[in-house]
Amino acid sequence: MQEVLERQERERRERMRRRAASKRVQRELDEQLGMAVALLEEENQSRRGSREGRAPNVHRHRHSRGENLLEDYFIPHSLYSDVHFRARYGMQSHLLNKVDEIARMGKSTILESLVRFCDAVKLCTPGTTCADLRSVTCNGFSKKLSLVDFLE
């Protein structure tokens, strides 16, 4: 029985020694990997942009794109200039602000504006225009001009 206990104790010590050696090797590998990464980062910092001789890249905070979209483009002192905004969205920022203002209007306000617009079109066009449009729809055009019906 004593021999069995001694053997188990030797095996336990051997396992502990192997674990310690394995951890030591792993720590050394981690240190070497850390040094290699640091060297690569140092080499990459010497470059300014994506290619030699180019301007530095704009730090875009890619990890939080959705959260920072307003800060990047839509506040008065945004991260990007008006040139970047126009290239990204195809319009100037003040035009997009007006579109946004219209989009935030309530349904009743939009309908009221549409009715006023149609009333103004009726006042500006002579009464024969609607009759002329009706004759065009009857003479071969299969699509009905619903705008004519709305204006009358």
Q: How far apart, in whole angstroms, are the C-alpha atoms of residue 116 and residue 146?
A: 18
4 and 43 in a common domain:
yes
Q: Regarding predicted confidence, which is higher, 12 or 65?
A: 12
Mean pLDDT across the chain: 74
The answer to whether residue 32 sits within a structural domain is: yes
Distance CA 128, CA 123 (A): 12
114 and 96 in a common domain:
no
HSE (side-chain half, CA atoms, 13 Å) at 90: 0
* Residue 16 placed within a domain: yes
- In terms of residue numbers, what domain contains 93? 68-103
Same domain, 41 and 4: yes
Task: Give the tens place of pLDDT for each residue, 14-49.
Answer: 999 999 999 999 999 999 998 888 888 777 665 555
Same domain flag for 94 and 118 = no
Residue 57 lies in a domain: no
Q: Residue 35 falls within a domain, yes or no?
A: yes
CA separation, residue 53 to residues 40, 41, 42, 43, 60 (Å): 19, 18, 18, 15, 20
